[in-house]
Structure 1
């Protein structure tokens, strides 16, 4: 197997993003109440809908109408979105840097991210300029794990699935990539990623 392309997810792999950074304070340290809010109101499914291109303002208003008692907290989700960015995951960024420096691979990114908030990340993280290209779900009006976004990535960058490796922290997204013939690495931490890359004869 000759790997010539590496596809990186961003959030959870290269960028630390976590709504708890905002909401644990908003709920005065009450983790149980915060988790209830994420499971019932500002759910991951709701947020992923915006990753697929649904307008943030409309999504916020939809929830406010449904849960008016939680208007303040609902508006906080995208109103304080930038504060959910915890910074870059330095050890993974170092891996990325070394892979690019080797000049052996085409390196692109595939991310579930709202097109409205992604420019904020682009300004904050210099390494986002290092990629040959980035497929942003919000721009494409679809998202992982739907096959359309993988096919967009493959076609846009002329990638042969069997010659590529996709790194993502969500196992669901890896399984979807595998179904299309893309080799997947389920990211857990940078040290383990180095070992997983070695199984594809990729050394950093």
Structure 2
């Protein structure tokens, strides 16, 4: 089957986001920081905001559960832009090479509808997607729920088997493979251009 579409996840693929970029200085104590991120401001809690819960509601829920951490919980989304450190240059370079290729480019991201506009405004490479981006917070769906991939397929009338899906989360990769996508699992040492060339993508 010919590859016609290339679909990028964003966090961990083209954007370097990590709450530690803010909380490392805030705590100045790695052990305390890790306890907070593993037990209070957890990935699971943040994922509910990515699923569409408002930042304000998510914050109040967690403050009610952990009042002794109120200051830190409120600091989480107040300092979210510090956590979005930068683009990931080598992967963004691959995206830019694909901008004028024969492939249709799409984004499929787990991201809060409230914070994603900041990234759109501050990182010009998002324009390459020409608004063909499915954002979990807007759809009230989140990877690895298969339904969010179906939103992308239906909205843009594309086929999974003609599409490469790129993500850093292995659970997402596993579901995408079941749905019929050709997948690239991005790790720290992944040479994305080589991975795509090996699949037959032409630059």
- Give the C-alpha shift of residue 190 in structure 1: 7.2
For 2:26 and 2:188, locate their aligned partners in 1 and report how far apart those are by CA, in whole Å: 29
107, 112, 120: which one pairs with 1:114?
112
Is the deviation greater in 181-190 or in 130-139? 181-190
Residues 1:136 and 2:142 aligned together:
no
TM-score, length-scaled by structure 2 = 0.96
1:11 aligned to 2:11? yes
Give RMSD over aligned pairs: 1.1
Cα distance in 1 for partners of 2:144, 2:198 equals 24
Q: Give 1:25 deviation, angstroms.
A: 0.8
Task: Name 2:34's counterpart in structure 1.
Answer: 35
1:70-109 alignment, distance < 5 Å:
70-102=69-101, 104-109=102-107
Indicate the residue corresponding to 2:182 in structure 1: 183
CA distance in 1, matches of 2:136, 2:190: 28
Query: TM-score normalised to the size of structure 1?
Result: 0.96
Q: Report the Cα offset of residue 179 of structure 1.
A: 1.0
Unaligned 5+ runs, structure 1: none
| C-alpha contact 1:50 1:59 (8 A) present in aligned 2 | yes
Q: What CA distance in whole angstroms lies between the structure 1 residues aligned with 2:174 and 2:78? A: 33
Structure 2 Cα separation of the partners of residues 146 and 130 of structure 1: 26
- In structure 2, list runs of 5 or more residues that go unmatched: none
Aligned to 2:26: 26
CA offsets per residue over residues 45-94 of structure 1, 9 Å max, x none?
00001100011101101111111110000001101001111111111111
Aligned equivalents of 2:58, 2:3: Cα separation in 1: 40
1:167 and 2:166 are equivalent in the alignment: yes
Structure 1 SS opposite 2:134: strand
Q: Tell me whether 1:69 sits opposite 2:68 in the alignment.
A: yes
Please give the alpha-carbon distance, in whole angstroms, between the structure 1 residues aligned to 2:190 and 2:170.
18
Q: Distance in 1 between matches of 2:37 and 2:174?
A: 25
Tell me the distance in 1 between the aligned counterparts of 2:202 and 2:11: 23
Distance 1:11 1:144, change over 3 A: same
Aligned residues: 202
